[in-house]
Structure formats: C-alpha cells, structure tokens
Amino acid sequence: MNRKKFLTQLGSAGLLTLIPIKRSFPASKASLSQATVATKEKIMLSGEGEVLKVLGEIQTHKLSGADTNNQITEWVNEAPPGMGIPMHIHTKEDEIFRVLKGQVKITVGTNTVVLSPGDMAYAPKNIPHAWEIVGMETASMATSAFPAGMELMFEELDALPDGPPDLERVAQICANYGIRFV
C-alpha cells in the first residue's frame, strides 16, 4: 500500500496517533542536547586498547564512557589460575561477563557455576557476585559494565604501587565508585 492511500484509510483519528505529543520531548534545549549527543563509531582489533594492570590482572579497555556517552564500558582481562575478585556488590552498574578462554567459577547471588568459553553471566547492580579463574590455564573474559564510570576506578587501581596491595586503600577506592566487598 502506498503512503497516501494508507493515510487516507487511516483517517483523521488515526492520524492523530502519529503526531507526537509535546510532553514526550525533553523539557528544555539543554536536556534535548544531552539526549542527542552523538557518539562516534569505534572498531577495536584484538590487540588494541588501553592496557591496565589492576591488582595483578591485565585488563585491555576497549570502550569507555568517553566513547559511549557514558552508557557502557568494556574491557577484556587475562588472569592466571587462582586469580579472582571476592564477593562484592555494585550499587551503580550492571555487569555482563563473557568467557573467551579458560574456565571461570562465578557466583551471582546464590548461584555458582563454572563458565567455559562462550558462556556468560549477568550480574545486576545490588546483587553480590564474585569470580575466580579455575583450571590450569590463564583465562580471559570480556566484561561490560553499564552505565560507564567503573573504568575510572580501574585507572586509580592501576596507579597503585607494585607489590602486595594495601587492601584498605583498595576498598576505599572501590567504595568511592559505589562498590563494596561483602
């Protein structure tokens, strides 16, 4: 059916449903400009990204809040067997973990499972979760956090001196970003 015929058959009552109601738009020019900030496309190859060493874990950051209008951040980590993050809670962001290589034991809420390549887990904010690399090989995960912002915490953790971490300092940095260990 062509557009003219469709609109004619729709009639004036139906046509009104196609007209946007003013209250559905942002209230001001400022909020409109915030809502329409354009992000640029980005293609990252396997070896590309900002590399951080976060408490012994190598993270390659692929997307940051600056890339995505603060909607999402994503990184790929490489960690040896035994490495992990203890039970903790995010109050600001949700996370998705996708195993690329190796095996990762993950707990989300009361569910614990060993993930293999191709498996994933979703950890919503305010739900305790933890992960640990198991098996005999280094594992790799692609992790997404949304909204963005957590990458700033990783930059602070990367700046800590080498050697055994000051766990009180680590906990304080994490707390500044709405993350607490349980």
Would you list the domain boundaries of the chain?
50-181
What is the rounded CA–CA span in Å between residue 94 and residue 68? 16
In one letter, which amino acid is 39? T
Given a cut of 80, whether residue 1 has pLDDT beyond it is no
> pLDDT tier at 132 (50, 70, 90 boundaries)?
very high
pLDDT at 165: 87
Rounded mean pLDDT of 119-138?
A: 97
pLDDT at 40: 84
Which residue shows structure tokens 């559905």? Answer: 24
Q: Which CATH architecture does the domain made up of 50-181 adopt?
A: Sandwich (2.60)
What is the rounded CA–CA span in Å between residue 171 and residue 148? 20
Q: Are 97 and 124 in contact (CB under 8 A)?
A: no
Enumerate the H helices of the chain as residue ranges: 3-18, 29-35, 65-68, 150-158, 167-176
- Look at the pTM and tell me if it is higher than 0.85: no
36-40, 45-49, 139-143: the lowest-pLDDT one:
36-40
